[in-house]
Amino acid sequence: MPKPRKRGQKPDPGAIRLSDVARRVGCSTSTVSRALTMPAVVNEEVRTRIHAAIAELGYLRNNAAGALRTRRTRTIGAVIPTLDHAIYARLVETMQNAAGENGYSLLVTTSNFEVEREWRQARLLVERGAEGLVLVGHTHAPELTALLAAKQIPFINTYTYRPKSAQSSVGFDNRAASAQIAQYLYELGHRQFGLIVGFRKNNDRVKDRIDGVVETLAAHGVEVQDAAIVEEPYSIEGGRGGLRRLLEGTPKPTAVICGSDVLAFGAVIECDERGIAIPRQLSIAGFDDLDFAAHLRPALTTVRVPAAEMGKRAAEYLMARLDGKPHAAHYPLDTSLILRQSTAPPRAARSASDVPAGKKRPARSGKNNAGRSRRKAV
């Protein structure tokens, strides 16, 4: 039993043992331990009583001692590009929830879309005891992959799906997802396109999304000039600047495809500033389906990315690897093309017989290498 305290004296958390909590609840120490490390396997009523006893007694786990004893920290790390965008915050939240439900902790840091910074931050996480890592994209510094191989630390790439790669992945085919936007706009009658994207250097997602658009349009005999592909920082100002650059060129686009919703938001704002009517004078499409996309005026046509499921699957993969359980190395996820009011046939095509004005095209689905990619009108 813990030593009696003088009146007004706070309990010493270090003096309270796991057995004290178990004695107070009336269960075994192993049950208390499971409630802390694998809460999902413990009855909810028992788990509630255990946490009440922990709060009452002031018990704190000595994780450092536990890690020395078991050689396990039960910690996973994640290096994501930024926390400024809601799409990545959603990924982190579901990773945190999945980890917490299984007695794991999550450490998060950011790379600012820089592979060298990703390498430095990943090394820091490993030094802090991360047993596995969640990364974004497929392109990493050679030093990072060498470190993880040398230390035998499992990792998984998100926002990409490459089943033939030796690196595990959970995500979608970026090329196929962006190809669907291009195909849809082509079918509406657009022939002059502009792209506003992030920086291609060391970013496989940007490259794949550009390739998906360019190759799809090329198959229809539409060439996208290099000048029509502008690279900007992932920000609203980047979207505004990108649209300004596109409008300075000739011929001017009738449709602009953005590599993210954030860039598309900026493009929409720039159109409003210039008095350009969307979609009557210019169609704009995004990528991600952030919450605000549906509330723009006009609402944004975009690709819905399954960020929440991606985070959950990534965490599950790492925990399975660390716990010695079988798990698929690659997991494909679906994307959906969400049709809203920011896209329409170009003015020149509205009177053409092949694209009647006001005609509602049926939603069609196509399957890509990363599962199904669907069209959905909202």
The strand pair at 75-80 and 132-136 is best described as: parallel
How would residue 241 be classed by pLDDT, with cut points 50, 70 and 90? very high
Average pLDDT over residues 75-100: 93
Beta-bridge partner residues of 58: none
DSSP helix/strand/coil, 177: helix
Cβ proximity of 288 and 320 under 8 Å: no
CA atoms within 13 A on the CB side of 37: 19
Tens-digit pLDDT profile for residues 167-192: 999 999 999 999 999 999 999 999 99
User: Which pLDDT belongs to residue 356?
Assistant: 40
Q: What is the pLDDT of residue 349?
A: 59
CA torsion 279→284→287→292, rounded to 10°? -60
- Please state the rounded mean pLDDT for residues 47-61: 81
pLDDT tens track for 316-374: 999 999 999 999 999 999 999 999 999 999 986 555 444 443 333 433 433 444 545 56
Beta bridge partners, 196, equal 230, 258
State the pLDDT at residue 374: 65
Q: What is the residue type of 360?
A: K
Per-residue pLDDT, 252: 94
- Could you tell me the maximum CA-CA distance found in the chain, to the nearest angstrom? 90
Tokens of 62: 């000595």
Residue of higher predicted confidence among 24 and 245: 245
* CB proximity list for 165: less than 8 A, separation 6 or greater: 138, 330
> Which pLDDT score, from 0 to 100, does residue 62 have?
56
Q: What is the pLDDT of residue 325?
A: 93
Q: Any residues with CB less than 8 A from the CB of 26 and at least 6 apart, and which? A: none
Please write the tens of the pLDDT for every residue from 57-74.
877 665 544 444 446 789
Eight-class DSSP state of 367: E
The per-residue pLDDT for 265 is 97
| Residues 6 or more apart in contact with residue 33 via CB below 8 angstroms | 18
Mean model confidence pLDDT for the chain: 87
- Confidence (pLDDT) at 64: 46
CA atoms of 317 and 328, how far apart (whole Å): 8
Q: Which H helix or E strand runs over 75? A: strand 75-80
Q: Using CA of residue 156, residue 207, residue 370, residue 345, what is the dihedral sign?
A: positive
Q: Which long-range contacts (CB under 8 A, 24 or more apart) does 227-230 make?
A: 228/193, 228/194, 228/195, 228/253, 229/194, 229/195, 229/197, 230/194, 230/195, 230/196, 230/197
Query: pLDDT digit string (tens) for 251-290?
Result: 999 999 999 999 999 999 999 999 999 999 999 999 999 9
pLDDT of residue 209: 97
Q: Residue 25 burial (CB < 10 Å; 0-12/13-18/19+)?
A: buried
pTM value is 0.77
Q: Quick one: 141 exposed, middle or buried, by C-beta within 10 A (0-12, 13-18, 19+)?
A: middle
Q: Nearest-CA neighbor of 310 among 296, 289, 331, 329?
A: 331
The residue with greater pLDDT, 374 or 207, is 207
Q: Which among 98, 96, 38, 39 is positioned nearest to 316, based on CA atoms?
A: 98
Residue 309 has pLDDT above 60, yes or no: yes
Closest to 316 measured CA to CA, from 303, 304, 333: 333
Q: What percent of the chain is modeled with pLDDT above 70? A: 85
Yes or no: say if 296 and 267 are a contact pair by the CB < 8 Å rule. Answer: no
Q: For residue 188, what are its two tokens?
A: 């509406």
Share of the chain above pLDDT 90, in %: 70
**296 to 147, 236, 243, 285, 370: CA distances (angstroms):** 44, 13, 17, 12, 29
Inter-residue contact 138 to 162 (CB < 8 Å): yes
Where does the pLDDT of residue 161 fall: very low under 50, low under 70, confident under 90, or very high at 90 and above? very high
